[in-house]
């Protein structure tokens, strides 16, 4: 499994019990990225980024300032939509932060309706979604690489596991 080097030089790896969570993270973060692309966002990639107490997976993308609120909320719900496609349902742990962001933004409607909308978008891009999800899982689970954390876009420190080139070659 992939390992990562923090800026202070410490090398960490995921605990074996993190495998199940990491399997859910792959379609979750790819879901955000693919739906963000649908709405015209520039996707920089999916990264492991430093967070309180360790690392978090995050889709990193830039959206237009004037994006309609419902589109923004659909992107936030797309992580859960990715889990629905991969596992039949979404987990509350994965949805928690996205749901909080949606509430803060003042999005109208129910979270499950946004998840259904995002699921529909992903199903129309299913081949791309599945290729990128497999690629992300392979990079996490089938690698013994040590990746170095460095400054990323949008004021995060981390390491890209999927980058712009991965998304550019999977535009279908």
How does pLDDT run across 15-27, given as a tens digit for each residue?
A: 888 888 899 999 9
> Per the domain annotation, does 168 fall within a domain?
no
State the burial class of residue 133 (Cβ atoms within 10 Å of its Cβ: 0-12, 13-18, 19+): buried
Q: Does pLDDT of 137 surpass 50?
A: yes
How does pLDDT run across 25-61, given as a tens digit for each residue?
A: 999 999 999 999 999 999 999 999 888 877 889 999 9
Pairing of strands 146-148, 3-5: parallel
Rg of the chain (C-alpha set)? 15
Q: CATH number of the domain at 149, please.
A: 1.20.58
> Per the domain annotation, does 119 fall within a domain?
yes
> Per the domain annotation, does 171 fall within a domain?
no
Q: Does pLDDT of 95 surpass 90?
A: yes
Percent of the chain with pLDDT over 90: 66
> Per the domain annotation, does 30 fall within a domain?
yes
> Per the domain annotation, does 107 fall within a domain?
yes
Enclosing domain of residue 111: 3-163
> Per the domain annotation, does 12 fall within a domain?
yes
How does pLDDT run across 99-120, given as a tens digit for each residue?
A: 999 999 998 889 999 999 999 9
Q: Which residue has the tokens 């039949």?
A: 88
**Per the structure, how many domains does the chain have?**
1
> Per the domain annotation, does 172 fall within a domain?
no
> Per the domain annotation, does 109 fall within a domain?
yes
pLDDT for position 169: 62
């Amino acid at each position: 499994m992939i390992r990562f080097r923090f800026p202070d030089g410490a090398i960490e790896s995921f605990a074996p019990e993190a495998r199940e969570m990491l399997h859910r993270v792959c379609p979750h973060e790819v879901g955000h990225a693919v739906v963000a692309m649908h709405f015209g966002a520039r996707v920089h990639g999916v990264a492991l980024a430093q967070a309180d107490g360790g690392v978090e997976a995050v889709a990193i993308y830039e959206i237009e300032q004037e994006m309609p609120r419902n589109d923004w909320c659909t992107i936030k719900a797309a992580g859960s939509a990715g889990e629905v496609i991969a596992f039949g349902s979404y987990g509350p742990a994965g949805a928690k932060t996205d749901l909080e962001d949606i509430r803060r933004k003042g999005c109208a409607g129910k979270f499950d309706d946004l998840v259904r909308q995002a699921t529909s978008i992903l199903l129309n891009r299913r081949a791309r979604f599945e290729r990128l999800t497999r690629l992300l899982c392979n990079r996490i689970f089938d690698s013994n690489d040590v990746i170095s954390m460095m400054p990323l876009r949008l004021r995060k420190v981390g390491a890209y596991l999927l980058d712009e080139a991965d998304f550019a070659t999977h535009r279908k």
